[in-house]
């Protein structure tokens, strides 16, 4: 059986290839750690992918800003239907519609038992933590495909309680695999609570998810800063204040115009290592966001940092940046007694509660991030548009299930 998938070819280029139907073994391939080759996964399942999203983290690889090998199958944001169940799977059944946390986690190690599924000790021989279709994460095959194998199914998979309801809400529910929990984790890590004033650096999909999460958590004012006016317009569409950092290089002054004071209670970095300086002629300056959020966060405040930072960046602006060494004003953070929370998001800590918020109508995450459906053959074009700064969260519909359902619903309403 064929299995179309989105594959990284070289910097700036992805293509759709047939990678073959998966089985319950991790086979050798681009990026697969030799110690993971041949790993049997009778505890896993095969999913027919319903939706899989393009993520900003994928974009870092596609830009050539990591050590990702050519041929790597991309995609760690996966929602699907179970079509095959391993012999050791007890509670997940064929036909279940499930969300897949992007963290791959065994459920057995000491970190998984503490809900720190983002730093599982048993799935990546290189270091704690793993993900599908991502560089240096053990080589688990990505899910921007028609079918994908998911290990440790009983532990990892979030089963939706009602199939029809799930398919009706799929553009929201597809965000549970990464972007919504990641934005929410940024807000929780920053200490957002009722009445908080919050600054979110970055109006890409994760920044927008963080802003919406801050609203859900009760923030009184959410300010989003970015260099891209179209993305800022999207932030304003659901009630955020905004600052165009291309036009204004003094963040504190702009915050003071909004709040009356030049500081916020807490801040979220949703940009990461490809940050730019502020102002009209500014170029890449990877420590900009971290330094700026320390500057504008009140003493004793918290900084949530879901933005990605890497240990290897071939495209870094200097020798230090190439190894992830940044010129951070740590003394400023120390003087202001800031709390920093970094690292991948432990998706399983949040996804069930966020699912309930979606199903109840409390969360409108698809609207907040401007979810945009595309077929898998248009994924390369989606990557180019996303890299160009379009304010959309591209959702790949590899089998046309979502498109066909929307069309059938529209036809029924017209009759």
How high is the mean pLDDT of the chain?
95
- 128 vs 412: CA distance, rounded Å: 50
Which residues, 6+ apart, have CB-to-CB distance to 348 below 8 Å?
A: 101, 103, 105, 115, 117, 156, 158
Helix or strand run (H / E) with residue 242: strand 241-244
Asked if residue 345 has pLDDT above 90, the reply is yes
Which residues, 6+ apart, have CB-to-CB distance to 43 below 8 Å?
A: 86, 88, 89, 151, 152, 153, 154
Q: What is the DSSP string of 161-188?
A: S-HHHHHHTHHHHGGGGTHHHHHHHHHH
Predicted TM-score of the model (pTM): 0.95
Asked if residue 259 has pLDDT above 90, the reply is yes
Backbone angles phi, psi at 351, to 5 degrees: -65, -30
Alpha-carbon separation of residue 5 from 13, 141, 204, 310, 398 (angstroms): 14, 10, 24, 25, 9
**206 pLDDT tier (thresholds 50, 70, 90):** very high
Alpha-carbon separation of residue 346 from 64, 124, 125 (angstroms): 26, 16, 19
**411 pLDDT tier (thresholds 50, 70, 90):** low
Which one-letter DSSP state was computed for residue 54?
-
Instruction: State mean pLDDT over 150-169.
Output: 97
Token digits for 241?
Answer: 């204040």
Asked if residue 315 has pLDDT above 90, the reply is no
For 316-335, write each residue's pLDDT tens digit: 888 888 888 899 999 999 99
Q: What share of the chain is helix, strand, coil (3-state, %, to 5)?
A: 35, 20, 45
- Domains of the chain plus CATH, in order, are 4-178+346-414 (3.90.180.10), 183-341 (3.40.50.720)
């Amino acid at each position: 059986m064929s299995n179309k998938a989105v594959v990284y070819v070289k910097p700036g280029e992805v293509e759709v290839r047939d990678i073959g139907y998966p089985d319950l073994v991790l086979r050798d391939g681009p990026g697969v750690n030799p110690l993971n080759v041949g790993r049997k996964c009778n505890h896993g399942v095969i999913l027919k992918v319903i939706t899989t999203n393009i993520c900003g983290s994928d974009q870092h690889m596609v830009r050539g800003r990591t050590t990702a090998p050519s041929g790597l199958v991309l995609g760690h944001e996966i929602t699907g239907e179970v079509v095959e169940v391993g012999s050791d799977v007890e509670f997940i059944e064929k036909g279940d519609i499930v969300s897949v946390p992007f963290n791959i986690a065994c459920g057995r190690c000491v970190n998984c038992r503490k809900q720190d599924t983002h730093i599982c000790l048993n799935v990546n021989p290189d270091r704690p933590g793993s993900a599908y279709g991502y560089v240096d994460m053990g080589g688990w095959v990505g899910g921007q495909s028609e079918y994908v194998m998911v290990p440790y199914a009983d532990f990892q998979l979030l089963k939706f309680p009602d199939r029809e309801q799930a398919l009706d809400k799929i553009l929201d529910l597809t965000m549970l695999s990464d972007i919504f929990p990641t934005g929410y984790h940024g807000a929780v890590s920053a200490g957002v609570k009722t009445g908080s004033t919050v600054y979110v650096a970055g109006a890409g999909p994760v920044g927008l998810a963080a802003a919406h999460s801050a609203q859900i958590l009760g923030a009184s004012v959410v300010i989003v800063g970015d260099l891209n006016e179209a993305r800022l317009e999207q932030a304003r569409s659901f009630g955020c204040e905004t600052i165009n950092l291309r036009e204004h290089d003094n963040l504190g002054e702009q915050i003071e115009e909004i709040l009356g004071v030049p500081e916020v209670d807490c801040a979220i970095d949703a940009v990461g290592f490809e940050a730019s300086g502020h102002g009209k002629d500014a170029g890449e300056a990877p420590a900009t966001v971290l330094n700026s959020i320390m500057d504008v966060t009140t003493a004793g405040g918290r900084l949530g940092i879901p933005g990605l930072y890497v240990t290897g960046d071939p495209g870094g602006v200097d020798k230090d940046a190439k190894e992830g060494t940044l010129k951070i004003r740590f003394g400023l953070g120390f003087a202001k007694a800031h709390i920093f929370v970094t690292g991948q998001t432990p998706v399983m800590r949040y996804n069930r509660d966020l699912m309930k918020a979606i199903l109840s109508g409390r969360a409108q995450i698809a609207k907040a991030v401007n979810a945009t459906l595309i077929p898998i053959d248009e994924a390369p074009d989606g990557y180019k548009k996303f890299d160009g700064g379009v304010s959309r969260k591209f959702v790949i519909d590899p089998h046309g299930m979502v498109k066909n359902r929307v069309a059938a619903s529209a036809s029924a309403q017209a009759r």
